[in-house]
Amino acid sequence: MNRLTRKLIAKELYLYRWLLVGGTAAGFVGLLIAATGEVGFNVGFIVWLTAVIALGVMVALFGVQQERKEKSLLFILSLPLSPGGYVRAKLLGLLACFLLPWALLSAGALGFIAALPGVPDGLLPYAVLLCCFLLLNFSVVLCGALHIHSDAGVGGLIILTNMSISLFMMGVGRVPEIGRHMSQAEPVWNATFWLLLAAELATTLVALTLPLLFAARRRDAL
């Protein structure tokens, strides 16, 4: 990674620093609400989940779509960097913007489940799968934003990915090897869990690789 790429990544982190701080703070507020009781758990979980999803969507929209609207192509052409190289720097920068709060909020959620006596540790495998699916969700949105130039197309993708989160939460909870252990006192890391986790990580890797593969053939930066 050359010096210019590192500077572009740092630029993304600097530009969206308050968005990252605000989203992370909102997620931790949700965890604090979740610790207040049964009703608070449901409300806090929704706040936490919304914070992670909204943060990913806003990072992709502001980082890619807004740059297209502001027509920053002249700035990009002034850099000693190819269009493909700029796409790679953009991808890595926006990924770093999401990974930092995602890692903190995921660790907070897992620590919350492990620490509170009223929450069964059997939820840990489900929570890990959900956190990794949220990373996958962001990766797909970012990949789509880098490839789709239409606002309507990106909006449709966001709607579909957000719907997939609800479907994932219901579907995984109904998988017998996952669902029947969620109320137990100890987490069960069985073969089904590892298979689902591997599928999530592999799909995330594919979604993040596609822009890099197509970037080398681009004649325009974004």
Q: Evaluate whether 196 touches 171 at the Cβ level (below 8 Å).
A: no
DSSP assignment of 145-180 equals HHH---HHHHHHHHHHHHHHHHHHHHHHHTSHHHHT
Give the tokens for residue 222: 């974004």
Give residue 17's identity as a one-letter amino acid code. R
Measured between alpha carbons, how far is 94 from 75 in angstroms, rounded to an integer? 18
Q: Given this model, what pLDDT does residue 218 score?
A: 59
Q: Evaluate whether 90 touches 60 at the Cβ level (below 8 Å).
A: no
Q: Given this model, what pLDDT does residue 102 score?
A: 97
Per residue in 175-199, pLDDT (tens digit) is: 999 989 998 989 999 999 999 999 9
Give residue 221's identity as a one-letter amino acid code. A
Q: Given this model, what pLDDT does residue 78 score?
A: 66
Per residue in 89-129, pLDDT (tens digit) is: 889 999 999 999 999 999 999 999 998 888 899 999 999 99
Residue numbers in the chain where pLDDT is lower than 50: none
Q: Given this model, what pLDDT does residue 155 score?
A: 86
DSSP 121: G
Who contacts 34 (Cβ-Cβ below 8 Å, separation ≥6)? 40, 41, 43, 44, 45, 48, 112
Alpha carbon dihedral 188, 34, 62, 79, in 10-degree steps, equals -60
User: How many CB atoms neighbour CB 111 within 10 A?
Assistant: 11
Q: Evaluate whether 215 touches 83 at the Cβ level (below 8 Å).
A: yes
Secondary element (H or E) of residue 95: helix 83-115
Q: Given this model, what pLDDT does residue 63 score?
A: 82
Q: Given this model, what pLDDT does residue 71 score?
A: 57
Please give the distance of CA 99 from its chain centroid, rounded to a whole number: 7
Q: Given this model, what pLDDT does residue 215 score?
A: 61
Q: Given this model, what pLDDT does residue 149 score?
A: 78
pTM for this prediction: 0.90
